[in-house]
Amino acid sequence: MSFKAQAQHAQFACQEIQVDWDFFFMEAKMRSVSAIQQIQRVVTFLNRDEVDFLDKVGKDALFSTGLKLSRAKLIAWLVDFVQKIEVSGQGIKSEKDFENRILELLGRKQHYLIPPATEGKQKGGLQ
């Protein structure tokens, strides 16, 4: 086989490998697209007390259960919880409005949050 023929054969073999790699990466990208669509990155600014609170909850969980809870996981769970109690943004103008809305909704849904055996023992809401 001549040098030119060997070079063309090598180039053709590389193109075949490239096509196979492209297929591999395309398949991997397709699998990761659904994960990207499910989880979005959100950047937030918290003050020191808020960060310390998240860290304390995470450390409490770590020492009591052996599982580490990240700040991101805790924030996601808080969002899920607020979503579950069906908080809307209608009429909310301040942090205090938001707190009052959540407390109001918790008061309404208290019978879902307190187990029936302890329902009569608690007075005046959540303690």
Percent of the chain clearing pLDDT 90 (strictly above):
41
pLDDT of residue 109: 62
pLDDT of residue 18: 46
Range of the domain at 92: 85-122
pLDDT per position as a tens digit, 54-67: 999 999 999 999 99
End-to-end, the C-alpha distance of the chain in Å comes to 87
pLDDT of residue 108: 73
- Total tally of structural domains belonging to the chain: 2
Is 59 within the bounds of a domain? no
Is 51 within the bounds of a domain? no
pLDDT per position as a tens digit, 5-39: 666 655 555 544 444 555 555 556 656 555 555 78
Top-confidence residue, 93 or 126: 93
pLDDT per position as a tens digit, 106-119: 887 655 555 555 55
Is 50 within the bounds of a domain? no
Answer whether 41's CB lies under 8 Å from 54's CB.
no
Answer whether 112's CB lies under 8 Å from 94's CB.
no
Task: Work out the burial of residue 69: count CB atoms within 10 Å of its CB; fewer than 13 is exposed, 13-18 middle, 19 or more buried.
Answer: middle
CA–CA separation, 126 vs 32, rounded Å?
42
Top-confidence residue, 87 or 36: 87
CA–CA separation, 112 vs 14, rounded Å?
64
| Cβ neighbours around 11 below 10 Å, total | 10
Is 114 within the bounds of a domain? yes
The whole-angstrom distance between residue 68's C-alpha and the CA centroid of its chain comes to 15
Report if pTM > 0.75: no
